[in-house]
Amino acid sequence: MKLKKFSLPAKIHVQVGKGKSGSLIATLPEYDIFTQAEDLNELFFQVNDLIYTFFDVPKNMQNEIYYIPPRNAQENLVKIAHSSSGANHFQMKILYSEEMHEKHFFCA
């Protein structure tokens, strides 16, 4: 069986803000890509989908590699989601454990 390497980094910076229309905008500034969502549940789904697509994460690995922000980041995201201003921004990092990163760096 030949192994295919995919290039998921150990850390990904995510910047979240509210757009003029009220949508949540998540940007991965290092990669110049973004996604948008209408609420936090959709935002988490969209950020994961963005990561899977951009880094070409195989479908069979996606249930083991996912982004969930830490509790303090979640609290800040709730504040942004409920704000009426488009000027609020919050930056966080997605961190994958070394073990998980090494485990999923190669796929079949």
- Identify the pLDDT of residue 104: 45
Q: How many domains does the chain have?
A: 1
* Interatomic CA distance for residues 90 and 12, integer angstroms: 14
Residue 94 pLDDT class (50, 70, 90 cuts): low
**Cα Rg, the chain, nearest whole Å:** 15
* Interatomic CA distance for residues 8 and 65, integer angstroms: 10
- Identify the pLDDT of residue 92: 53
Calculate mean pLDDT across residues 43-62: 89
Strands (DSSP E) along the chain, which ranges?
Answer: 4-5, 11-18, 24-28, 33-37, 89-95, 106-107
- Identify the pLDDT of residue 86: 52
Query: Can you give the residue range of the structural domain that contains 74?
Result: 4-107
